[in-house]
Amino acid sequence: MTNRTRPTAAPAVSRLGLALAALQEKRGQTLRSMAAEIGTTASSLQRIMKRGQLPDALGMTKILMWLTEPFPKADGKARKRARSA
């Protein structure tokens, strides 16, 4: 009998998990609130952040789109991104 496990992440996805964990800590968010903001489930984020597993294509797309959005300032308005010339 073979041991079937979910494929583990490549180093880039492991770094994604570390980045998500750092943002979660910096923003003081729970895993559930962060997942709701991204539009995915807390269990999906946990698999990436804690176990280093690969997300599905839709989950990865949502995470990457969320990471590239400007973060709101304390007044609720989004910061403008610096544009390179």
With pLDDT > 90 as the criterion, what percentage of the chain qualifies? 45
Is 2 contained in some domain?
Answer: no
pLDDT at 74: 59
User: Which CATH number covers residue 16?
Assistant: 1.10.260
**Hey, which residues does 8 pair with through a beta bridge?**
53
Is 83 contained in some domain?
Answer: no
**Which range of residues forms the domain containing residue 22?**
11-68
Is 35 contained in some domain?
Answer: yes
Average pLDDT, the chain: 80
State how many domains the chain has. Answer: 1
- In order of 2, 50, 55, 65, the CA distances from 16 in angstroms are 29, 11, 11, 13
Residue 8 confidence (pLDDT) above 90? no
More confident residue, 15 or 79: 15
Is 62 contained in some domain?
Answer: yes
Is 78 contained in some domain?
Answer: no
Mean per-residue pLDDT, 18-30: 92
> Torsions phi, psi of 53, nearest 5?
-90, 160
